[in-house]
Amino acid sequence: MNKNKNYWWKDAIIYEVYVDKFADNFRGLAEKLNYLSDLGINCIWLLPHFPSPMVDDGYDVSNYYNVRNGLGSLDDFEVFIKAAHARGIRVIIDLVLNHFSTEHPWFKEARHSVDNPKRDYFIWSKTGKELSGSYNPFFHLTPGNWIYNSKTDDYYYASFFAEQADLNWDNPDVFGEIIKIINFWAGLGVDGFRLDAVAHLIKREGTSSLHQPEVHNILKDMRRHLDVRYPGVIMLAEANGKLEQIATYFGKGNECHMVFNFPLMPNIYLAVKRNNLKLLESFIKNSPDIPDNCQWATFVNNHDEITFALLEESMQEEIISWLDPKGEFSFKGGRGVAMRLASIFKNNPDLIVFILSLLFSLPGAPVIYYGSEIGMENLARENEFTDSRRYVRGQFDWLQAEEQMRDSNSLLNRVKEIIRQRKERQTKVEKFLRYHSPGASL
């Protein structure tokens, strides 16, 4: 619990949202803040809002210093930030550190000449055979990690889609450029950065190119910069892996302030499926201690797939056959599903309430994916997306939300009550700590 009010992230209740799919643009999002405030949210995580060709719904960034066409202007962004802060709502933005869009000016320069100054900002090979053990997260969607570049008759490295060229973090100039980006957005008032795919930053021969030790040096340097220049602006790591492994992204309280608790999520579903909450009790009991100035970010679904890769294969099959018996929303060859809660628990709002109640009762800062509170479902299958994650990225249903606002027994109002009770528990614990800490006056 938050013993120090400066650690705002320890009491965060986070709402994950696309600006355009929720409110069209930043002016519209500013106007919708009353809805989020009434829901009980005190932190918004904005999915990518930068200019982008949108090959990966914004995670292929072509300009880190502006707002995407259609979302408004930088002035509109600042209006939104100030309006959020006026309501006591913090704002975290996505920072895509692993790769840039191949439409980014740096890469467009680099791909045309081996002598270009930006060439060493990316990773190249004459053969495309190096780093053969490196993990390919989109093995079911892409041909591999090396992409042929006809301009210079060689290959560039891409962990994800071919249109997302990986940065060369062994080049110190890359760190300097990212710090400039951080300074720009922190200067506009953002309260934190979600570090996308941070486990992938360093590539090494003979490894999976995941969770390399040098990543932690980068994070420590980044944290030092923030602590000096923008104290209170946080880093939230997206780094999937075993619990002991991802806990290292906190460092000794000198790396990321928050880390997504990926292993908790499949255990929540397993506990619900088996009607056995002792599974969760055991998971929490056996979780490693984390530094006092740090916090887990917890979730049950998001803009990506619900992944069960950390479970044993038999458990994966058990859970996925329960959630998606027809295999309609499979992702990564059956190791995960891209589904919203209301598509999983169709016509059963009680189960949605139960799983969200679990999420809000567990240690960590809960993240609620936009639309979960009103029972939004996956997009219709007739879209036939190759990337099944896009089924969970539909437009927010404001008509549905307005109907539920008027119904005291609606899912929306039940979720509001879950959040209210969470805040009430936080307040009680804070009062207890205040009056029972050493030296407290009675």
| All domains of the chain in start order, with CATH | 8-97+173-436 (3.20.20.80), 99-166 (3.90.400.10)
How many CB atoms are closer than 10 A to CB 34?
11
Q: What is the pLDDT of residue 427?
A: 79
C-alpha to C-alpha distance for 328 and 337, rounded to whole angstroms? 9
Report residue 107 as tokens.
């890469």
Does the annotation count 196 as an active-site position?
Answer: yes
Q: Give the CA distances from residue 134 to residues 96, 139, 142, 157, in Å, rounded to whole numbers and listed in that order.
A: 19, 11, 14, 11
């910069």: which residue's tokens? 225
From CA 284, how far away is CA 362, in angstroms rounded?
8
Is 238 a known active-site residue?
yes
Beta bridge partners of 97: none
Q: Which residues does the chain have with pLDDT short of 70?
A: 1-5, 333-334, 429-442
Q: Is 79 exposed, middle or buried (0-12, 13-18, 19+ CB in 10 A)?
A: middle
Cβ atoms of 155 and 201 closer than 8 Å: no
Structural tokens at position 305: 């797939």
Half-sphere exposure at residue 386, Cβ-oriented, CA atoms within 13 angstroms: 8
Percent of the chain surpassing pLDDT 90: 89
Sign for the CA dihedral angle at 403, 407, 411, 417 comes to: positive
pLDDT of residue 441: 39
Torsion of CA 299, 304, 306, 309, to 10 degrees: -110
CA nearest neighbour of 295 among 358, 354, 241, 249: 249
Phi and psi torsions of 183, nearest 5°: -60, -40
Q: Which residue has the tokens 């929306």?
A: 412
Catalytic, out of 196, 255, 324, 373? 196
Say which of 16, 238, 305, 324 is annotated catalytic: 238
Q: Angle 399-404-407 (CA atoms, 0-180°, nearest 5)?
A: 140
